Structure 1
Amino acid sequence: MFYMSTASGIIFLLILFRMDLGKYCDSTSRTAKAFANPLRVKDFWVLMTLPRFWAFGLFMTGVCGIYAVYDQQFPVYFSSFYPNPEDGIRAYGYLNSSQVFVEALCMLFAPWLVSRIGAKNGLILTGTIMFVRILGSGVAVDVWVIASCKMLHALEVPILLVSAFKYIAGNFDSRLSSTIYLVGFQAAQSLTAMFLAPVAGYGYDHIGFSSVYVLMAGVVGVCLLISCLTLRSESSRTPCSTVPDHAPSPPATTAVV
């Protein structure tokens, strides 16, 4: 597995090295306009004052961040459904391989789905799947139930990734997309996991996995309801620019009759 991962990384680097990005950077492209209007420090401060940024951060923290903590010790919980822990670990390996394969297939259809339901609805759908999976894991009593909860991961991840990038592109300045992804997406999940993981570990030892999962599902459900009200839909959003566009407007033309 480690050799395969290393080989895949090398192949990916070779592909990136041979890519010609010049054809995507003509004078009329969004990339060229972004370089023509460089970011300033005040632009980042303006971003921090936008309610829609904090709404997106709340979703990533209260829904995706808690889900990341839930997923950390899930293999241990899954193995407990087997009389022999070694059999449980082996079964989880097979199940995880199947989930990754199905996840790759779902990635082919996720853009089509998100383009039709919208980025906000895609995020809400993802959060709903996470809620069902966490709650289902807490009330599961059979192996097939907990295995079904694991397989939901294959449906949820592609929709989350596509919806998150589409939501960022549609509601924020494109020049800040990488910042929003790192702060609102990655950092929010990492900070949640850092602070919540010890609490979850304490709960696993004292009240059990099932009870902790039910509590996690309750928190995710509350955050999901708040996100339904605070996330912006495409039909009602204002122009997505976070900071003023300093590019000169095209000259007006006079129609000739």
Structure 2
Amino acid sequence: MKLPKWNFWNFGGLFFFYFLIWAVVLAFLPIWLKEQAGLDAGQTGLVFSAISLIALCYQPFFGVISDKLGFRKNLFWFVVCAALLMGPFFTWVFIPILQFNIWVGAIIGGIYLSAVFQGGVGVVEAYIERASRASSIEYGRVRLFGSIAGATATLIGGMMYLANPISIFWFASASAAVLGILLRTAKVDTSSSAAAAADPASDGGEITKERVFSIFKLRNFWFLSLLIVGTASVYDVFDQQFPNYYNQFFPTTAIGTQRFSELVSLQTAIEAVLMIFMPWIINKIGAKNGLILFGILTFVRIFGSAVATDTISLSLLRLIAAVEMPLLLVSIFKYITGVFDVRLSATIYLLAFNFAKQAAIVIFSSIAGNMYTNIGFQNTYYFLSAIVLVITIISIFGLSNDKKHRSPVGTVQPNSKPNMVASPKM
């Protein structure tokens, strides 16, 4: 059996250590803000709101800059260098600022943390997707290392936090150092035909303001954004307080929390396995159908959770998430590179996916939170599932068929040019 090329392990390592930082820090940040920084629930919510809102400011600029840079790593290096400061920031900077003024602390924390996470994640994913495509490597297969990182963080994060809460942030800094080494060694053979197809400047075209703004004239861009708002955003909002709903089915909260932790670990393991096969599945069914299937599964999981009456059925419904995430992560990039101008893939990804999703979460989180209080979890789930179903049906007719545009991974048609920014035919 031929072993995967070095680039596969290199790109996979980039994903692993970036999402290891992500999972370790964000999983324990709410607890740290309460126990170590002394914030109450409202103040903690203010910090997370600042992170989400400031990330919205980063994403459009990060997308355009990523496309202008192409295979150059400048913006990725910015994220890595910011992540290196995680330990010092939490040890000596963040708590004094929060104690001085909660609003100032929330803004500064939001500027820093969103640069590494909610804003920076698009930079990381867009670069590795482009570099993988240039190296004729399936993006989904290197993305599975991110799922493995999530499982690893679950195993080691809790032990480190209990031993010394600040240790998780210094662990993040150490992981960022390894991430930097892997980024330094990452290479793309720019002379290959696959690299020429993935390079934003492959046809000599410059990423101009007019070209970027022409994205907003595309009917397909708005339908893609609508699908993300109505499915992926609702997916995240549903998951935010699902553990509280899940715990209601158990005699005590402690038992429910333990069972949910075990369930998430199983979900993450299944997700990592499915990531291996998902690129092949999406190549067969098409990225549009993958996105539609994601919407259908999201509807089934939310609606099913509303009607479930026992822990077994509710747990099985939760495991659907192990299929949903690989479907979404692989389909979204294949759809963008299959339908839109590949020179603007990062911009479209950060706008249609990250920006639209984050903005909708800010709005939906507040609405769902009030509904949970006023009408209960089940009725709120009926409402959320209805949104997902309606948007998914609209997307069936609104999204273009990517299989009419896309070539097999790593291949370039003779005399082909990147898909131009023009309204794709139905």
TM-score range, shorter chain: 0.7 to 0.9
| Alignment pair present for 1:242 and 2:421 | yes
How far apart are 1:216 and its partner, in Å?
Answer: 0.5
How far apart are 1:15 and its partner, in Å?
Answer: 2.0
Aligned counterpart in structure 1 of residue 187 of structure 2, from 4, 17, 20? 20
How far apart are 1:150 and its partner, in Å?
Answer: 1.0
Any stretches of 5+ residues in structure 2 without a counterpart?
A: 1-155, 161-167, 407-417
d(CA) in 2 for partners of 1:143, 1:216 = 21
Name the counterpart of 2:143. none
Any stretches of 5+ residues in structure 1 without a counterpart?
A: 244-257
Residues 34-113 of structure 1: matches in 2 within 5 Å? 34=201, 36-113=204-281
**Residues 236, 18 of structure 1: alpha-carbon distance in 2 compared, 3 angstrom cutoff:** closer
The 3-state SS of whatever aligns with 1:29 is: helix
d(CA) in 1 for partners of 2:371, 2:199 = 51
Asked which structure has the greater RCO (Cα within 8 Å, sep 6+), the reply is 1
C-alpha contact (below 8 Å) 1:25/1:31 kept by paired residues: no
The 3-state SS of whatever aligns with 2:320 is: helix
C-alpha contact (below 8 Å) 2:225/2:352 kept by paired residues: yes
How far apart are 1:31 and its partner, in Å?
Answer: 4.3
Aligned counterpart in structure 1 of residue 288 of structure 2, from 113, 120, 141? 120
Q: Which whole-Å deviations, capped at 9, do the CAs of 1:157-199 have from their partners, x for residues lacking one?
A: 1111111000000111111100111110011111111011111
C-alpha contact (below 8 Å) 1:68/1:189 kept by paired residues: no
Residues 216-255 of structure 1: matches in 2 within 5 Å? 216-236=384-404, 240-242=419-421
C-alpha contact (below 8 Å) 2:338/2:403 kept by paired residues: no
d(CA) in 2 for partners of 1:150, 1:172 = 33
Name the counterpart of 2:144. none
d(CA) in 1 for partners of 2:197, 2:254 = 53
Q: Which whole-Å deviations, capped at 9, do the CAs of 1:15-55 have from their partners, x for residues lacking one?
A: 2221122x235587124562632111011221101000001
The 3-state SS of whatever aligns with 1:129 is: helix
Name the counterpart of 1:255. none
C-alpha contact (below 8 Å) 2:200/2:342 kept by paired residues: no
How far apart are 1:225 and its partner, in Å?
Answer: 0.3
C-alpha contact (below 8 Å) 1:25/1:32 kept by paired residues: no
Q: CA RMSD in A?
A: 2.1
TM-score, normalised via structure 1 length: 0.88
**Residues 105, 235 of structure 1: alpha-carbon distance in 2 compared, 3 angstrom cutoff:** closer
Residue type of the partner of 2:271?
A: E
Residue type of the partner of 1:72?
A: Q
Number of aligned residues: 242
d(CA) in 1 for partners of 2:237, 2:210 = 34
How far apart are 1:113 and its partner, in Å?
Answer: 0.3
d(CA) in 2 for partners of 1:63, 1:79 = 24
Name the counterpart of 2:378. 210
Report % sequence identity: 35
Aligned counterpart in structure 1 of residue 197 of structure 2, from 30, 33, 37? 30
TM-score, normalised via structure 2 length: 0.54
**Residues 206, 39 of structure 1: alpha-carbon distance in 2 compared, 3 angstrom cutoff:** same
